[in-house]
Amino acid sequence: MSMKENNWIDRNTFHHSDFWDLIKLVEEKEKKGLKISLCIPTLNEEKTIGKEVLILRSELMERYPLVDEFAVIDSGSEDKTLEVASNYGADVYLASDILPEVGNKRGKGENLWKAIHQLKGDIICYVDADISNIHPRFVYGLVAPLIHREEISYVKAFYDRPLNYSSGLRPSGGGRVTEILIRPLFSLFYPELSQIIQPLSGEYAARREVLEKIPFPIGYGVETSHLLDLYQLYGLETFAQTDLDRRVHRNQTTNALGKMSFGILQTFFNRLHTQGKLDRMPDLETFYRRFEVEDGNYRQLIQEVVEEERPPMTEIEGYRNRPDIS
């Protein structure tokens, strides 16, 4: 079964090439008086951080002044991450030095949260440090919808992860955790959010005024909690998503993904509690929602998956009447 649930996905889904004209984008940003901060959270990323800082700074601060502030916020790397990042001109901070009075917790979410205090921008764009094919589109593709459309306050990245070229159709989705854990959970509890193609992507941009209002899990749950909390506060219309084409990054082991899923589940069930979804459990959805892309157009596939159940055999009269069972 395939149908379009509503047109949010058409209105709020972009492709980075929609924003190729950086001169125009910078003009619009200046006209609106916006300041943009870019934050890369790091922990032992010496192999990729140099390239990210070099390219993003050179293209988006020097050539086109889209980004006003560029910070690397580190969790205490033991390799040369900080040296390489500052060699290429990033402002480098240790998360433990920011707001020392609240203490230090080690995790990516801590760095993202402390960035809100450390950075000055009206818009903060977060980019993971492990992208080996970094390109300016990873930033301008995310901040552009915020510059152009005031009603949008949070923009997620999604990527091309081709799995099947032969039929012209390919599933468009996230990694294993997204497809096996998050999308089924969203389909059950937050069907509207299942339109977000890659809910776990580590690249997103948001307005300060929404970031400062939500809690930040320190570990794996930070991306999930942002979606659930902002959805609760502002609804789906606050979100947008941008196709950034291909992202090349490290592949994780199944064990690491298990740990990540465990962290995400904690965050998820906390939200179910606080939003009253566990106490007043509604009928569970039976529609599973996923995506497919053809010729650059994304469409949601909705499939009914009803897990019918049979009672214990001892409740069946015919079984009980068997001569050998009594």
Partner 1 sequence: MPVEQIDTEALLNDLLRDFPSRTEKIREKKDSFLTDAVLLGEIPSPTFGEQERVRTVVDRFRENGLSNPGVDEFGNASAQLPGTEGQSSILIMAHADCVFSPEVRHEIQVGSDSMTGPGIADNALGLAAMISLPRLLKELGIELRDNLILVANCKSLGRANLEGAHGFLETMSQPVRAGICVEGSTLGRLSYSGLGTLRGEITLQVPSDYDWKRFGASGAISHLTGLINQIREIPIPKEPKTQLVFGGLKCGSSYNTSPRQGSLRFEITSEEDGIIGQMENQLNEICEQFSAETGTLVNMEVVAKRQNCGIPYTHPLVKTTRSIMQKAGITPQVDPSTGDLNALILGGLPAVTLGLTTVENLREINETIQLDPLYSGMCQLVTLIQAIDQGICEA
* Strands 91-94 and 69-74, bridge-based pairing: parallel
Nearer to partner 1, 32 or 246 (CB): 246
Residue 279, CA distances (Å) to 4, 181, 225 in order: 31, 22, 19
Q: How far is the CB of 205 from partner 1 (least distance, A)?
A: 21
Q: How far is the CB of 117 from partner 1 (least distance, A)?
A: 28
Interface residues toward partner 1, by CB under 8 A: 46-48, 50-51, 54-55, 57-59, 62-63, 80, 83-84, 87-89, 132-133, 135, 248
Nearer to partner 1, 46 or 285 (CB): 46
Nearer to partner 1, 162 or 235 (CB): 162
| Residue 204 bridge partners (DSSP) | 126, 156
Q: How far is the CB of 165 from partner 1 (least distance, A)?
A: 15
Q: How far is the CB of 161 from partner 1 (least distance, A)?
A: 16
Helix (H, G, I), strand (E, B) or coil at 221: coil
Joined together, the tokens standing for residue 269 give: 């069930």
Q: How far is the CB of 95 from partner 1 (least distance, A)?
A: 22
> What are residue 161's phi and psi, to 5 degrees?
-125, 75
Taking the C-alpha atoms of residue 119 and residue 116, their distance in angstroms, rounded to an integer, is: 6
Q: How far is the CB of 34 from partner 1 (least distance, A)?
A: 23
Taking the C-alpha atoms of residue 188 and residue 40, their distance in angstroms, rounded to an integer, is: 33
Nearer to partner 1, 133 or 274 (CB): 133
Nearer to partner 1, 59 or 110 (CB): 59
| Cα-to-chain-centroid distance, residue 75 | 20
- Which H/E stretch holds residue 40? strand 36-42
Nearer to partner 1, 46 or 122 (CB): 46
Q: Which residues lie closer than 8 Å to 33 by C-beta, 6 or more apart?
A: none
Residue 155: is it exposed, middle or buried by C-beta count within 10 angstroms (0-12/13-18/19+)? buried
